[in-house]
Amino acid sequence: MKYEGIADDELGYVIAVVDIKVSPVGKILPGDGATHHKVVFSLLTFYPKIQEIVEGEVVEVADFGAFIRIGPVDALLHVSQLMDDFISYDEKQGVLMGKETKRKVSTGDFMRVRITAVSFGRGSSGKIGVTARQPFLGKLEWIEEDVLKVKGKEEKEKSKK
């Protein structure tokens, strides 16, 4: 219980302690009512790496960006890293929308992003920054549209030859 939920520089985010083996032989210390046993266990962890591409669900949208759940933690996708467009925030609908592209991001959308910053704080805190301003990153529907555009251009070039 002591290890679950912590963020550590070497381990990453500790999700669960698994495969616990407790030695049946223990020690009794004077003045302590408990017995102390040697324990061997394994940890299930999530260690985000910079430049890694991950997919996650948008769990919250705010005027400064969106939080995307990747693994056991939420990463911040700042508005400046969302798309190459002027972005406005509609507080009533909870939507970030591009002015020219009309592309929207709202809670429940699935996005593919690249991890750009990772900092592990003390205890359970830690921060992850991500970007979607690179080719074939962003909302999954946008990626499908971009792939179809590229395929259409390739087919046009082949037909010209």
What's residue 79's pLDDT? 92
Is pLDDT above 90 for 112?
A: yes
Using one digit for the tens of pLDDT, what is the confidence trace for 128-151? 999 998 888 988 888 888 888 888
Which of 58, 80, 75 lies closest to 139 in space, CA to CA? 58
What's residue 10's pLDDT? 83
Is pLDDT above 70 for 122?
A: no
Using one digit for the tens of pLDDT, what is the confidence trace for 49-59? 999 999 999 99
Is pLDDT above 80 for 45?
A: yes
pTM over 0.85, yes/no: no
User: Domains of the chain (ranges plus CATH)?
Assistant: 7-46 (no CATH), 53-142 (2.40.50.140)
Task: Work out the pLDDT band at 108, boundaries 50, 70, 90.
Answer: very high
Residue 12 · residue 48 · CB < 8 Å: yes
φ/ψ (deg, to 5) at 21: -125, 115
Task: Work out the pLDDT band at 111, boundaries 50, 70, 90.
Answer: very high
Task: Work out the pLDDT band at 114, boundaries 50, 70, 90.
Answer: very high
Average predicted confidence (pLDDT) for the chain:
87
157: which DSSP letter?
A: H
